[in-house]
Amino acid sequence: MNKIAIISDVHGNYEALKTVLADIEKRKINHIYCLGDVIGKGSRSNECLDLLKNCTMTYGNWEDFFNKKSCANELDKKRYKLLNKQLSKENKDRLKTLPLCYEIYISGRLIRMFHATPSNPRDNVLEIDRIDKMYKQFLPTKHTNNEIADVVIYAHTHTQNLMKLYNRTLINVGSVGNAFDIIRNKEKDGKYENTTNADYLIIEGEIDSKEHADIRFEFVSLNYDRNLELQESKTNPELESYTKELLTGKFRNIEKYKNNFDESYYDINKF
């Protein structure tokens, strides 16, 4: 069997990405798929793109933001200005050519990969969403072939997760550079270090094979030097919120989604 690595949401975090790539090399994995959001938040987006120049990549909401110059407010203008200054022409041109989805057969399963949903890199699908919303992740769109996927691998919400539904597998690969735990409670939270790592996924199976065979999914969560990364982020226009996320694993805008994270949402009668 062969192995591939799937990463996402690097967010300009150079130290986290270096740690992940070193682990992938140590495991002798030769092919990396990246599901977008390599840029933004951290201050070394260009360096991260350079490290990933040979990987297969789809685009995320931050690449979409940069390509479309979607500056809705002053913070967005600062973000765009910084990225436009940082990124090389080669990397800017590459971002314009990225696909929304990528598909591959592994051990007889059609595996579909994308950043958020198969139709929009900005949509949110959480592991506490309704089952019917999760099922839509498997359905074909104009960006995919016409089959319903067997395995969907996505990212965007920065939290590793695997679940089974309808004899299919839905996986969130998590985030290399900006990991969250979206279900938070001051009285119940464990150590921050359980979350604030560099996360990625390994799949082991028969690559490019339509014959049903064994397959393995492995989540990897690596410690990295978060303080060094923050020392190199002096030009970041949102350093305070970036620091909080990297050190606590808590999303900066979590309060506006708090109703989604109510523990009562797990009531099975709501599905």
Q: How far, in Å, are 121, 129, 199, 256 from residue 261 at the CA level?
A: 22, 10, 22, 10
Confidence (pLDDT) at 127: 80
Residue 247 pLDDT > 90 = yes
pLDDT digits (tens, 9 = 90+) for 138-185: 999 999 999 999 999 999 999 999 999 999 999 999 999 999 887 888
Residue 269 pLDDT > 70 = no
What's phi and psi for 233, nearest 5 deg?
-115, 30
How far does the chain reach from its first CA to its final CA, in angstroms?
37
Residue with tokens 């890199």: 121
Helix or strand run (H / E) with residue 221: strand 216-222
In order of their start, the domains of the chain are: 2-270 (3.60.21.10)
% of the chain surpassing 70 pLDDT: 93
| Contact (Cβ atoms closer than 8 angstroms) between residue 255 and residue 229 | no
The side-by-side arrangement of strands in the sheet containing 161-165 is 101-106, 109-114, 151-154, 168-172, 161-165
Angle at 191 between CA 186 and CA 194, to 5 degrees: 125
Separation of alpha carbons 86 and 78, rounded Å:
12
pLDDT digits (tens, 9 = 90+) for 188-204: 999 999 999 999 999 99
DSSP 8-state symbol, 225: -
Separation of alpha carbons 231 and 228, rounded Å:
5
Give residue 255's pLDDT band: very low, low, confident or very high (50, 70, 90): low
Confidence (pLDDT) at 257: 54
Q: What is residue 101's three-state secondary structure?
A: strand
Q: Average pLDDT over the chain, rounded to whole?
A: 91
Q: What is the mean pLDDT of residues 104-108?
A: 98
DSSP 8-state symbol, 192: G
| Contact (Cβ atoms closer than 8 angstroms) between residue 115 and residue 8 | yes
Instruction: Count the residues in the chain.
Output: 271
Separation of alpha carbons 255 and 188, rounded Å:
17
DSSP 8-state symbol, 99: -
Residue 262 pLDDT > 80 = no
What's phi and psi for 138, nearest 5 deg?
-85, -15
Please give the full DSSP string across 2-42, using - where no structure is assigned.
EEEEEE---TT-HHHHHHHHHHHHHTT---EEE-S--SSSS
Q: What is the mean pLDDT of residues 24-34?
A: 97
Instruction: Tell me the CB-side half-sphere exposure of residue 262, using CA atoms within 13 A.
Output: 7
pLDDT digits (tens, 9 = 90+) for 33-63: 999 999 999 989 999 999 999 999 999 999 9
Structural tokens at position 76: 């967005």
Cβ atoms < 10 Å from Cβ of 151: 22
pLDDT digits (tens, 9 = 90+) for 218-231: 999 999 999 999 99
| Contact (Cβ atoms closer than 8 angstroms) between residue 83 and residue 45 | yes
Closest CA to 59 of 6, 118, 100: 100
What's phi and psi for 216, nearest 5 deg?
-135, 140
